[in-house]
Amino acid sequence: MNSDSNKDKIVVIDFGSQVTKLIARRIREYSVLSKILTLKDLKKKNIFRNVKGIVLSGGPSTVTKNSFPKIPNEIFNLNIPILGICYGLQLIVKQFKGKVKANIKKREFGRAVLIKKKNSLLTKNFFKKNKSVVWMSHQDSVYKLPLDFSKIASTSQSTMTIIENKKRKIYGIQFHPEVTHTNNGNIIFKNFIFDICKAKKQWKLVFEKKRIIKEIKQTVQKSKVICALSGGVDSSVVALLIHKAIGKNLKCIMVDTGLMRKNEFKESYQIFKNKYKLNVKIIDASKIYFKNLRNITDPEKKRKIIGSLFIKIFETEAKLFKDVKFLAQGTLYPDIIESRSVSGSKTSKIKSHHNVGGLPKKMNLKLIEPLKEFFKDEVRKLGNAVGLAKSISKKHPFPGPGLAIRIIGNITTKKVKILQEADHIFINELIKSNLYDKIWQAYVALLPVKTVGVMGDSRTYEYICLIRAVISEDGMTADYFNFPKNFLDEISNKIINNVKGINRVVYDITSKPPSTIELE
Ligand code: XMP
Please tell me if the CB atom of residue 304 comes closer than 6 angstroms to any atom of ligand 1: no
* Closest C-alpha among 513, 504, 358, 512 to residue 445: 504
**pLDDT given at position 283:** 95
Q: Which atom of ligand 1 is nearest to the CA of 307?
A: 17
CB 170 within 8 A of CB 91: no
Cα 518 to middle of ligand 1, angstroms: 6
Residues marked active site are found at 86, 176, 178
Cα 172 to middle of ligand 1, angstroms: 34
d(CA 396, CA 376): 10
For 419-430, the pLDDT digits (tens) are 999 999 999 999
Please tell me if the CB atom of residue 339 comes closer than 6 angstroms to any atom of ligand 1: no
d(CA 253, CA 251): 7
Q: Taking residues 394-409, report their average pLDDT.
A: 95
Residue nearest to atom 24 of ligand 1 (CA): 397
Question: Given pLDDT bands bounded at 50, 70 and 90, which one contains residue 464?
Answer: very high
Q: Taking residues 185-197, report their average pLDDT.
A: 98
Q: Which of 517, 519, 520 to mutate to test the pocket of ligand 1 (most atoms within 8 A of CB)?
A: 517
* Closest C-alpha among 87, 25, 89 to residue 58: 87
* Closest C-alpha among 147, 152, 119 to residue 134: 152
Cα 353 to middle of ligand 1, angstroms: 7
Cα 324 to middle of ligand 1, angstroms: 29
By CB atoms closer than 10 A (0-12, 13-18, 19+), residue 315 is middle
Q: What mean pLDDT is reported for the chain?
A: 91
CB 112 within 8 A of CB 175: yes
d(CA 443, CA 423): 6
Residue nearest to atom 3 of ligand 1 (CA): 516
Residue nearest to atom 9 of ligand 1 (CA): 399
Q: Which of 230, 335, 423, 512 to mutate to test the pocket of ligand 1 (most atoms within 8 A of CB)?
A: 335
d(CA 228, CA 495): 33
Question: Given pLDDT bands bounded at 50, 70 and 90, which one contains residue 359?
Answer: low
Q: Which atom of ligand 1 is nearest to the CA of 376?
A: 24
Q: Taking residues 25-34, report their average pLDDT.
A: 94
Q: What are phi and psi of 255, to 5 degrees?
A: -95, 120
Contact partners, residue 488, CB within 8 Å, separation at least 6: 467, 507
Please count the other Cβ atoms lying within 10 Å of the Cβ belonging to residue 388.
23
For 254-268, the pLDDT digits (tens) are 999 999 999 999 999
Cα 399 to middle of ligand 1, angstroms: 5
* Closest C-alpha among 449, 454, 510 to residue 479: 510
Please tell me if the CB atom of residue 137 comes closer than 6 angstroms to any atom of ligand 1: no
Quote the radius of gyration of the chain (alpha carbons, Å): 25
By CB atoms closer than 10 A (0-12, 13-18, 19+), residue 453 is middle
Residue nearest to atom 7 of ligand 1 (CA): 475
pTM: 0.76
